Structure 1
Amino acid sequence: MADQIIGLHEWIATPPGAYLLAWERAQMATAVADVFGFHALQLGLPELDALAANRMPHRWLATETPNEKAAFVTDFSALPFPANSLDLVVLPHALELTADPHSALSEVARVLVPEGRVVICGFNPMSLWGFRQQRGHLYRRLGVNRLFLPQAGEFIGYLRCRDWLRLLSFEIESGDFGCYRPALTREPWLQRFAWMDQAGARWWPFFGAVYCLVAVKRVRGMTLLNPAWKPTRILANAPVSVANSSGSHRVGFQ
């Protein structure tokens, strides 16, 4: 089965994909539930309704390729929103699959309001899954496809992603790792190693197969006021609103 995997959307339908999706769904629910504002955006992975637990009145799902679940299609490096107009942006594996991840993240920084939040999920190259993927790339040079994870895109490690965010004036609020089971393709074998989720979170927390980062956009020299009421911002030339499209380890940062 793994030899036929060609992309993230196909991979999500496999047993390890479902395992990862369940972990990310729980992480997103926790990360976005208490983020308040008016406008939220999800970039990529329509299989995961990352904004389901959020209560903002205006929520969009965007993809770079046509998808029936998406509100609109756009280049992640050129989002159709004014500067300082979104309160929350979530990127489940979007940076890994877009052609220019650094430009996409810079664009997210542009459209977020001061104190707005970004939530990013990505594969961790320093994990059992990442090691198997690296070995698969060696086999590909011999003409044999033994990749475990999706072929497309470049996996961006946790530390690299964190450094990019800091360069864009984001402050890391939290970082989570999860999915510690071995790189296995069959459901029964994945279930046999369920105990590794708790063991991994305790003994090797930074080697989970996937990570989730939450960061806040900081603007130096700006004093935020808290008025008694806040008027609704109207986005010029923005897409139509879509409401509710259909074991981890946390690391704190200062």
Structure 2
Amino acid sequence: MSDRTIIDWPAWTESPAGKYVLGWEQEQLDRVVSNIFGYHALQLGLPQLDALRENRMSCRGLVLDAASATSAPYTVPGAEPLPALPRSGALHAPAGRSTVWCDHLDLPFEAQSVDLIVMPHTLEFTSNPHRLLREAERVLMPEGQLLIVGFNSLSLWGARQSAAKVTGHPFLPAREDLIAFTRLKDWIKLLGFELERGRFGCYRPPLATEKWLGRYAFMEAAGDRWWPIFGAIYMVSAIKRVRGMRLVGKVKVKKPALAASLAPAATTPSPTRNKDS
């Protein structure tokens, strides 16, 4: 894990830029998860976002990384370090849901037991994103769905974050480097997922004040039409496909068609000639 300065997530989500991003993400997730059905749904990380709010599955849980809760505190440039959260800290799932503290790279769930997994910026806070994707693939049922939300490196926000490597003042709260959308697509395809849809959003420049973000509100409609792949945020929806899987049901046996039998051609007797003629 990088030892560079890390922006604290809770503090950033209360900033104008953070509210702008979480507002768009919440709207998109509410629309998508409402049409996904099953029995078990999980949200990995980011308790500041209620990714399963509109989902109607009976068992919904928030899975938080125990290592991040007991590790060194996050720091904000120019501010005092925030205390580390205890394992039984104040972060809890919304009412009616359970909270699970565990290692995201070793999920304590049986294979093929979950219908939906939502990972809001989870890959950007893990030291091994490919292993985390393998864990998600393991616990998902066949035809289960995976939703991934992340910062788009091919955007103005990604460019500003890249420049932070030189200045030492990051703009986005990511522990690891941002994952390009094209790279993420390759990873999920290698794991047997089928990309269902991709969505981009948040086209305003990376500005820190609400006043300046409001002045560029016109870029939302323009960006969605003219440069859609350069939004600051992407949301990927993928379905776990299992090769060789068939629907089990009543087998209908078709009777083999009988070959047409050969019949001798009918011969017509030739007309007898009148002997007297």
> TM-score normalised by the shorter chain: which range applies?
0.7 to 0.9
**Counterpart in the other structure of 2:138:** 110
1:100 matched to 2:144: no
User: What is the CA–CA distance in structure 1 between the aligned matches of 2:247 and 2:41, rounded to whole Å?
Assistant: 20
2:30 & 2:174 partners in 1: Cα distance?
Answer: 28
Partner of 1:179: 202
Q: Runs of 5+ in structure 2 lacking a partner?
A: 70-86, 94-98, 251-277
Deviation at 1:135, TM superposition (A): 1.4
Q: What TM-score do the two structures reach when normalised by structure 1? A: 0.83
Number of the residue aligned with 1:61: 62
User: How many residues matched?
Assistant: 219
The residue type paired with residue 37 of structure 2 is: F
Gaps of 5+ in 1: 228-254
TM-score, structure 2 as length reference = 0.76
Inter-partner Cα distance in structure 1 for 2:161 and 2:130: 23
> What is the CA RMSD across the aligned residues, in angstroms?
1.6
Say whether residues 1:36 and 2:64 are aligned partners: no
Specify the code of the residue in structure 2 equivalent to 1:164: W
- Residue aligning to 1:243: none
| Cα distance, 1:72 vs structure 2 | 1.6
Moved more, 167-176 or 127-136: 127-136
Is 1:78 matched up with 2:101?
no
Aligned equivalent of 1:139: 167
Give the distance between the partners of 1:175 and 1:34, measured in 2 at CA: 16
Code of the residue aligned with 1:13 in structure 2: it is E
2:228 to 202, 205, 211: 205
CA positional deviation for 1:154: 2.3
CA apart distance, 1:148: 1.3
Aligned counterparts of 1:48 and 1:7: Cα–Cα separation in 2: 15
Return 83-92 or 30-39, whichever deviates more.
30-39
Partner of residue 22, structure 1: 23
Is 1:194 the counterpart of 2:222 in the alignment? no
2:64 and 2:178 map into 1 onto residues whose CA distance is: 18
Correspondence 1:90 to 2:118:
yes
Cα distance change, pair 222–40 in 1 and its aligned pair in 2 (3 A): same
Deviations 1:168-188 (A, max 9, x none): 000000000000000100001
Paired-residue identity, %: 50
